[in-house]
């Protein structure tokens, strides 16, 4: 594949009726060599889910954004959940302030390093800021160097929060976040 320009694609929200394409991109992501440390899901679990699960996820889950090429192929994905202050998140922690939680990030191998991930993150951040998020956070496995580099390039910084979500105590997830920009006065 020749080098692409981020101008060769459109980054947009996924529509509810596009659940089958969303499912296929997720299944592709779950076959990536780092999927076992990148996602809290497995290919085997995901492929066994009924269509109704995927339809509900696409219609009512996190706000999902994709990068779509001119030929209609989807080559990247990111989703964001809005977490309300005072609620408990999926890890059991109390959410201190309204924030976005970036999940499900995937960029197809031939498009990595092209700037596409950064453009996707900018779209997600803009969406979250428009919904009053004070920051956007994510969790990334400490061994996922490629993802860590991508997030850092996009402006995410480590918050110092770590947690073990796997079976082993040293199976660490790092929290990274971007604070909402303060408008110039």
More confident residue, 18 or 8: 18
Confidence class of residue 4 from pLDDT cuts 50, 70 and 90?
low
Q: Which tokens is 9 given?
A: 């694609």
Looking at residue 103, its pLDDT comes to: 93
Confidence class of residue 157 from pLDDT cuts 50, 70 and 90?
very high
More confident residue, 52 or 3: 52
Query: How many residues in the chain?
Result: 185
Residue 50: strand, helix, or coil: coil
Instruction: Say whether pLDDT at 168 is over 80.
Output: no
CB 90 within 8 A of CB 57: no
Mean predicted confidence (pLDDT) in 155-159: 96
Taking only the tens place, the pLDDT of each residue in 64-82 is: 999 999 999 999 999 999 9
Segment among 5-9, 38-42, 52-56, 145-149 with least mean pLDDT: 5-9
DSSP readout, 27-39? HHHHTSTTHHHH-
DSSP H or E run through 129 = helix 116-130
Q: What percent of the chain has pLDDT over 70?
A: 92
DSSP readout, 6-29? GGGEEEEEPPGGGHHHHHHHHHHH
Taking only the tens place, the pLDDT of each residue in 110-144 is: 999 889 999 999 999 999 999 999 999 999 999 99
> Average pLDDT over the chain, rounded to whole?
90
Looking at residue 162, its pLDDT comes to: 87
Looking at residue 163, its pLDDT comes to: 84
Looking at residue 67, its pLDDT comes to: 96
Looking at residue 13, its pLDDT comes to: 95
Mean predicted confidence (pLDDT) in 179-184: 85
Q: Which residues pair with 94 in a beta bridge?
A: 88
Looking at residue 2, its pLDDT comes to: 41
Confidence class of residue 90 from pLDDT cuts 50, 70 and 90?
confident
């Amino acid at each position: 594949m020749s080098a692409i320009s981020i101008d060769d694609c459109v980054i947009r929200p996924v529509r509810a009726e596009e659940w089958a394409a969303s499912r296929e991109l997720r299944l592709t992501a779950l076959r990536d060599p780092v999927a076992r440390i990148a996602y809290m899901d497995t290919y085997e679990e995901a492929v066994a889910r009924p269509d109704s699960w995927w339809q509900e996820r696409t219609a009512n889950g996190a706000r999902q954004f994709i990068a779509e090429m001119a030929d209609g192929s989807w080559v990247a994905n990111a989703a964001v959940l809005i977490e309300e202050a005072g609620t408990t998140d999926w890890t059991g922690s109390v959410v201190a302030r309204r924030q976005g939680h970036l999940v499900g990030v995937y960029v197809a191998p031939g498009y990595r390093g092209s700037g596409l991930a950064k453009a996707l993150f900018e779209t997600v951040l803009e969406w979250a800021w428009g919904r009053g998020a004070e920051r956007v956070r994510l969790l990334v496995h400490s061994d996922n160097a490629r993802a860590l580099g991508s997030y850092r390039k996009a402006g995410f910084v480590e918050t110092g929060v770590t947690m073990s979500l796997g079976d082993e105590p040293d199976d660490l997830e790092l929290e990274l976040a971007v604070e909402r920009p303060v408008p110039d006065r």
